[in-house]
Chain A
Amino acid sequence: MEKDVPRAHHDLGGVSKFMCEPVDVEPHALTDFDKEVDGLRAVLGSKRVMTVDELRRGIEAIPEAEYHRLSYYRRWIRSITDNLLVKGVITEAELRAALDRV
């Protein structure tokens, strides 16, 4: 296939350059980071701060090079951070201060 169409970069179905490597279907362990991000997403959902649809939209908005470089849950935390900044739940100053403490 491979029609020359204006697909979004996350819309990978059937794109031949992603069909060259076999898919690893073995289960793999989640890291503490992965679990923490997943937990954070669940709390934000149950508190009605943000939906999974907003999570997905934020993931899809990550610039292409960064999108392919980030792990699954790093994409999540990037989207969650962007959403919380836009909604004013956290400020950029608070985010920077928190990152400085890490």
Chain B
Amino acid sequence: MAGFAPGALVRVKDDWPETRGPVHIRTPHYLRGMRGKVVRRFGDYPNPEDLAFARPAAQRALYHVAFDQPSVWQEGKAGDQLLVEIYEHWLEPA
């Protein structure tokens, strides 16, 4: 994967691995399919989705992604943001 620069517009994949068997997912359900903006890249970490099953885990980039809070929660003031840590394989260009 090419990676995302700070400021890149991204969409969280609207994917539900929960429906396909036992999984460990760090991407909250309420963000699936939502658009956000990359704030920073923390670095690369072993994929926890594999670590959770004691499988060999590839390195994955972890990002801070900002989301417009009112459109996620239907509450809060204009300009309020949610800041969430999301792994790169959950993001696609938006």
**Which A positions have Cβ atoms within 8 angstroms of B?**
1, 3, 5-8, 11, 13-14, 50-51, 53-54, 56-57, 60-61
Contacts and interface: CB of A to CB of B under 8 A. Distances in A.
Contacts of A50: 54
Contacts of B23: 8
- Ranked 4 nearest A-B pairs via Cβ: A7-B29, A57-B52, A53-B51, A57-B24
B51 A6 contact: no
B28 to A, nearest CB: 5
Interface in B19-46: 19, 22-25, 28-30, 32
Given A7-B18, A61-B22, A13 B28 contact: yes
27 contacts: A1-B73, A1-B74, A3-B30, A5-B16, A5-B29, A6-B18, A6-B19, A7-B29, A8-B18, A8-B23, A11-B28, A13-B28, A13-B29, A14-B30, A51-B51, A51-B52, A51-B54, A53-B24, A53-B48, A53-B51, A53-B52, A54-B52, A54-B53, A56-B48, A56-B52, A57-B22, A57-B53
